[in-house]
Amino acid sequence: MSTFEHLPANPSTHQSNGMVSLDLIQRTFLWLMIASGWVVIIEPAPYEILFVVTLALMLPAGLNFHTAAMPMVLFMIAYNVGGGLSVLPVTGIPKTTQFVIVSIYMGISAIFIANVVADDTIKRIAVIKNAYIIAAVLGSIVGLIGYFNIGGMGETWAPILRAQGTFKDPNVLGTFLIAPAIFLIQDFLLGRQRWPISASIALLIIIAGLFFAFSRGAWISAMASGIMLVGLMFVLTPSPRLRTRIVLLCIFGVIALVGLLSVALSIEKIRLLFAERANFLNSYDGGETGRFGNQLRSIPVLLQSPNGLGPLQFSPMFGQDPHNVYINAFSSYGWLGGFSYLLLILSTIIIGIKTVFSRTPWQAFAIAVWCPLFFTILQGIQIDTDHWRHFYLLLGLMWGLYAATVRYQRTGCS
């Protein structure tokens, strides 16, 4: 049994008779779409526009639909049908129809990514990985500019004194940065960084962006993802030499991280906000009308509402958003949407575990995708993740890698 296969650092390009191939054009626009993911403050975002262009380029040749990914498709359809039924009684309320449209788009984007990655897997995941890291670096830089009020941009890019950048919420920025950080860390552990200095700078910028977003959920998810990444790689590699490398680099990484954290916390402004955000429970979390109290109070209401409350109707009834994607699924998408979402998540966990433990040329990448995806799924217990683009990106990647794995096990072709 061999150790993890190495993905190419740069996907190869194809040319024919001096002409740029359709394959190269497709991968170029796929890269642009993912790389634009750091700009989400405007609607429609560049990501949406480039998605439409990339989909149009993929449909004529290069986009097949894989039966292994059909459970995701069916659950996603049922989920959004539930949303469509739930919105009917409240269509006159502003933004409710838009909410459902966004949900449908998110589902389509996940299905698209899954079927893109299922074919020509190694080349396409190399494109997506590179583009996502670039997007994370740019998003972090803008967030840091806001946090440190460089050029007077604090009010725009850090309006609540936390790095936010072009995202609508620091919590979303923080979780957006976890997967690319994991990609970079994994490459260091495997020793396959072609430009280690550039990669180190990129990782440092991303970690800084994640830290200064001051998102408790993102911090916990990032640490848990890193621990799971190291654990899975240590267990699944048959190479004693690689295990030794992983242990040594982890020790060095922890020491470096503690040193950087000590430097940051020596600044009073940072230390005070860190102490506030590091609390497991804040004043708005507890109590009957706090975040968790509202969630408990909503359950009897939702059990009596087969069609849900309607999109965006939880807040008017309980005073704030549900801050729980599973409760929100039943509230905004009814019983049909709620149970479909639970089945989608359960099936994703099952296929994720299967894919991670399958020996394939993309096993290492599957591990790197699975770790942040799994903890984003868990994070849904304390925040609404149903409209996070990067969640649907990771979801689509996992199902695409699973479909590719099923084909690889049957045919041996990658």
Percent of the chain with pLDDT over 90: 77
In a domain, 67, yes or no: yes
Q: How many Cα atoms are found within 13 Å in the side-chain-facing hemisphere of 310?
A: 16
Dump pLDDT digits (tens) for 17-55: 445 688 899 999 999 999 999 998 887 889 999 999 999
In a domain, 6, yes or no: no
Tally of domains in the chain: 1
| pLDDT score of 287 | 56
Q: Over 60: is that where the pLDDT of 57 sits?
A: yes
* Mean pLDDT confidence for 359-378: 97
| pLDDT score of 21 | 85
In a domain, 2, yes or no: no
In a domain, 390, yes or no: yes
Query: What's the domain range around 150?
Result: 15-411
- Count CB atoms within 10 A of the CB of residue 276: 10
In a domain, 269, yes or no: yes
In a domain, 296, yes or no: yes
* Helices 178-190 + 196-212 axis angle, to 10: 150
Residues 212, 173: Cα–Cα separation, whole Å: 10
- Average pLDDT score, the chain: 90
* Mean pLDDT confidence for 343-372: 97
Q: Over 60: is that where the pLDDT of 13 sits?
A: no
User: Does residue 68 or residue 65 have the better pLDDT?
Assistant: 68
Dump pLDDT digits (tens) for 211-225: 999 999 999 999 999
Percent of the chain with pLDDT over 70: 91
In a domain, 255, yes or no: yes
Dump pLDDT digits (tens) for 149-190: 999 999 999 999 999 999 989 999 999 999 999 999 999 999
In a domain, 356, yes or no: yes
